[in-house]
Amino acid sequence: MKQVIFVALIGAAALAGYAAFDTWFNGSRGSEEARAARGPAAIAVEVARAKAETIERSFDAVGSTRARRSVEIVPLASGRITELFFEAGQKIEASAPLLTLDDDIEAADVKEAEAKLREAELALERARSLHQSNTVTAATVETLTAARVTAEAELERARRRFADRTVRAPFSGIAGLRRIDLGARADDQTVITTLDDLSSVEVEFALPETAFGEIEAGMPIFARSAAFPNKTFSGKIIAIDSRIDPASRAFKVRASIPNEDFVLPAGMFMTLSVVLDRRTGVMVPEEAVMVEGDGAYLFVADGETARRRAVELGQRQRGAVEISKGLEDGEAVIVRGVQRLRDGSQIRIVEDAENGKAAADADGIG
């Protein structure tokens, strides 16, 4: 009796399993047939508009700023510093006094030389008067004339030595840090400070020899510095070296950048871009372009259909690439989901970078 019941249970289980399999199999076939009847599912993609933009062909380089003119201020004479007229960072006008040295002896020398000159002039005047009455010979007049000239020269030397006791700015600029204090003794080897003309700064940089035939004086350059991340400084090339370094195969170029607000100091590291020419071209995001062998292609959104199109590439800049042939300004190109596309694939646009709209469901974008 137990054997009969066991066999019956096995049979019932087999019938139930067969029924479940039949239901699953027929259901799967029905789903596949339904999907086939509906056609392939639309692929979710993102698109962006091709844009006509200004394209620059340029060379990049690095360099450091230097003042238009720069000197170390050194006294022309020796002595003790009695006055200092400047502070670090102060704008100094040309010929303005920077410091004075003790000048008591030099002032006395000037007075003595002035007295000697006056004495020589009076002696010459008397000799000339007496010469008219033949009391004094012409030789005496000539001797006294030479003495007056000597006295004039001695006075000029005394005045120059006195003037050298005051150090003046040779040109307008910005004073550097003081390197000596009031009361210290200085000589013609003592650097008092530096003076930089920062009304404009110069940047010297190197370019590869392949650019030698294209670089000309007057070409625009654009410079950036980490100290001013949101600012671009414009300038122009002012000089080109006549030699190419045989080791680096590069040549030196010097550019000038206006600096009326004095924000750029000497010695600042800068990255530069030398603009060779500008033109207008059709640009698309780099991720829209696929490379295959020696050619390139992209997909254009034609309504709800993706169309593959062969294109020719131009210059790349800032995450975009130029399409020199095969695309028009304003066409919608697919930038995401391209890996799953074929020519003629049905698509569903979930984001348009041009219009800034996105669907709530963006699942399935490749």
pLDDT tens per residue across span 285-310: 998 998 888 889 999 999 889 999 99
pLDDT of residue 57: 79
Question: 3-class SS at 129?
Answer: helix
**Tokens 């350059």 found at:** 221
Own/partner contacts of 23-31, CB < 8 Å, gap of 24 or more, are none
- Given a cut of 50, whether residue 366 has pLDDT beyond it is no
pLDDT of residue 318: 77
**Tokens 């550097």 found at:** 176
Q: What is the pLDDT of residues 162-183, one digit of tens each?
A: 999 999 999 999 999 999 999 9
Residues 6+ apart with CB under 8 A from 89: 174, 175
Confidence of residue 352 (pLDDT cuts 50, 70, 90): low
CA distances from 20 to 25, 34, 269 (A): 9, 21, 77
CB atoms within 10 A of CB 337: 24
Could you give the angle at the alpha carbon of 213 between the alpha carbons of 59 and 316, nearest 5°?
A: 30
pTM: 0.60
Question: 3-class SS at 148?
Answer: helix
- Given a cut of 80, whether residue 359 has pLDDT beyond it is no
As a residue count, the chain comes to: 366
- Distance from C-alpha of 287 to C-alpha of 315, rounded to nearest angstrom: 15
Q: CB-side exposure of 11: number of CA atoms within 13 Å?
A: 6
pLDDT of residue 354: 54
CA distances from 231 to 172, 187, 200, 237, 276 (A): 26, 44, 16, 20, 21
pLDDT of residue 223: 95
Q: What is the pLDDT of residues 309-342, one digit of tens each?
A: 999 998 887 788 989 898 999 899 999 888 888 8
Q: What is the pLDDT of residues 31-50, one digit of tens each?
A: 444 444 434 678 899 999 99
**Tokens 């300004």 found at:** 329
What's the whole-number mean pLDDT along residues 230-259? 94
When the pLDDT of each residue in the chain is averaged and rounded to a whole number, the result is: 85
Confidence of residue 11 (pLDDT cuts 50, 70, 90): low
CA distances from 92 to 98, 223, 256 (A): 9, 27, 22
pLDDT of residue 353: 55
Kindly state the tokens that stand for 128: 């000339």
What's the whole-number mean pLDDT along residues 264-271? 94
Do 39 and 143 meet the contact criterion of CB atoms below 8 Å apart?
Answer: no
Do 142 and 54 meet the contact criterion of CB atoms below 8 Å apart?
Answer: no
- Given a cut of 60, whether residue 154 has pLDDT beyond it is yes
Question: 3-class SS at 155?
Answer: helix
